[in-house]
Amino acid sequence: MTPPVASALVPFTPPLHVDQLLGHLAATAVPGVEEWRDGALRRGLALRRGPAVLSLAPPRPGDAAVRADLLTGSPDDLDEAAGLVRWWLDLDADPVGVDAALAADPALAPLVTAAPGRRVPRAVDAGEMAVRAVLGQQVSTAAARTHAARLVAAHGTPLADPVGGVTHLFPTPSQLAAVTADELALPRTRQRTLLGLVAALADGLLDVPPGRLEDPSRAQRLAELRALPGIGPWTASTVALRGLGDDDAFLPGDLGALAAARSLGLAQDARALERRSAAWSPVRGYALQHLWGVLPHALNALPAGTTTP
């Protein structure tokens, strides 16, 4: 075990559905940048005083805080890292209010009762989320991770003090500007989409601090993202929900959400699910987490063998 250089307890309002939240982040972890090891989620971060590796262990039953350990980096960056954890794990959410709103729908009430406190697994950076969303268009979670890992290895900043499998920072927009179509093992249309997105990110498209969408400038950035060629509703809504804090963003065309909706008798197609989701506004993003939880998937559970401390 790597001893931390600094640690903080980041509080939250219970309940917190840990399996879904950390399970999602572990299942989608980009090799080189993120990993699940020794019962904790690790991630490389670019903090104010330099690169660092952050570790998050699942809170124990009854806890009202997540322990955040800086394994490398400056202890003086602990407050900044804790702020990112609050955003990344959606710890500022009001789970009681969200659950009450969703449970008002008889179709969702049993899901909320079975798994209270679901959160939205956010992204530490909106631009990174946009790149990862494009890489995940119409492919499996494993394929998306592989594509992202190649970009990280080729263009990410290597960590001077790697920890386990955390060896790089995710590439910045300026670093990604060096990406060429030849190195992308993607269909040509998605190559063009990614290169267009990267160019827009390098021009500052999503250069915003983590936070919710209420800021009008963030809504404008999202509109500009949607205008880019190849950025469809699924990609834009993913970035809105996980990167820009739009709690009402919804993905009616998502295959997992649709499969869950059909199994629950809510809707048979994306258009019907979009209409049905109006009852869950303005917290449709949390309803989406419950839909994803209906069917078995690695996103819904902590990695095998994990035990809370």
pLDDT digits (tens, 9 = 90+) for 218-230: 788 899 999 999 9
Average pLDDT, the chain: 94
Lowest mean per-residue pLDDT among 28-37, 126-135, 218-227: 218-227
Q: Kindly state the average pLDDT of the residues 55-67.
A: 96
| Predicted structure pTM score | 0.95
Q: What is the pLDDT of residues 157-174, one digit of tens each?
A: 999 999 999 999 999 999
75 pLDDT more than 50: yes
Question: Nearest to residue 44, comparing CAs of 70, 12, 25?
Answer: 70
Question: From CA 102, how far away is CA 121, in angstroms rounded?
Answer: 18
Q: How far apart (Å, rounded) are the C-alpha atoms in residues 147 and 145?
A: 6
DSSP state of 206: T
pLDDT attached to residue 305: 64
Q: Report pLDDT for 306.
A: 65
pLDDT tens for residues 239-271? 999 999 999 999 999 999 999 999 999 999 999
Quickly state the pLDDT bin for 3 (edges 50, 70, 90).
Answer: confident
The residue among 261, 263, 137, 253 whose CA lies nearest residue 190 is 137
In this structure, what DSSP letter does residue 170 have?
Answer: P
pLDDT over threshold 90, residue 298: no
Q: Which has the higher per-residue pLDDT, 299 or 23? A: 23
* Catalytic residue ranges: 254
Q: Using one digit for the tens of pLDDT, what is the confidence trace for 186-215?
A: 999 999 999 999 999 999 999 988 777 777
By DSSP bridging, strand 65-72 and strand 50-56 are antiparallel
